[in-house]
Amino acid sequence: MATALITGASNGIGLELAKIHASKGGDLVLVARNKSRLDELKAELEKQYKVKVYTIGKDLSAHNSAQEVYDETKKQNIQIDYLINNAGFGDFGMFVETDWNKELQMINLNITTLTQFTKLYLKDMVGRRNGKIMNVASTAAFQSGPTMAVYYATKAYVLSFSEAISNEVGDKGVTVTTLCPGATASGFQAAAAMEESALVKGKKLPTAIEVAEYGYKAMMNGKVVAIHGLINYIMANSVRFLPRAIVVKVTRKVQDKSK
């Protein structure tokens, strides 16, 4: 069974993806800042599913962190068959008021590290003519997002980049899937300080398990863009038929703090 490397595996969608892959009998390399949480998960998965789990504690917003993880998997002689770039975070607020250092970390994690991971492991996969990559974007990728301007922009990058390389390697035995969840009950909202946003306040959101199951299946089937949920699918695809100014205004209204 294939070995999957999953970033941001200590909670939310990444955690559930790890459980799903282990339940299929697949080994894992789990990467996140919280090494102790990863080690707890390692013990749980190895005991329940009899798989091998290797954990790496790493701040993936740090410069060249993807290279360091890649070098460690090479040193351990672990072949990565599936790469799941799940780690990412957002921030909520007017751009003129938000914290630049946090936004720089967001850009580094959501864009730079994801791209470097893809670069490193994709070369190996193409060389073997076998492998799967899943980059986690968001329905935010389909339009600009006032009050979360940098986050939306990073996810637009992930979608555009992933679609392009999917085309490039389509005849080389490798698939690249972009998972685009909508708002999900995963802890993301608390980390982004957006619990009061009208987008999520009082809403019954899909669970991380539901999104992970959908995404894993999409990756296994080689789906290029996977938008979770019918409403999300309709909304993501409808924006192309509307004037961009209207889309931005509607997004702002949805994102603004609930009164």
**CATH for 129:** 3.40.50.720
What's the rounded Cα separation, in Å, for the pair 144 and 232?
15
pLDDT in tens, the chain (259 residues): 899 999 999 999 999 999 999 999 999 999 999 999 999 999 999 999 999 999 999 999 999 999 999 999 999 999 999 999 999 999 999 999 999 999 999 999 999 999 999 999 999 999 999 999 999 999 999 888 899 999 999 999 999 999 999 999 999 999 999 999 998 775 554 444 445 545 544 556 889 999 999 999 999 999 999 999 787 767 767 666 555 665 566 666 676 665 4
For 12-64, how does the pLDDT look when each residue is reduced to its tens digit (9 = 90+)? 999 999 999 999 999 999 999 999 999 999 999 999 999 999 999 999 999 99
Strand 4-7 relative to strand 53-57, pairing: unpaired
Cβ-based burial of 210 (10 A; exposed 0-12, middle 13-18, buried ≥19)? middle
Domain with 137, as residue range(s), is 4-255
Which pair of structure tokens corresponds to residue 141?
Answer: 């990728």
Number of domain units in the chain: 1
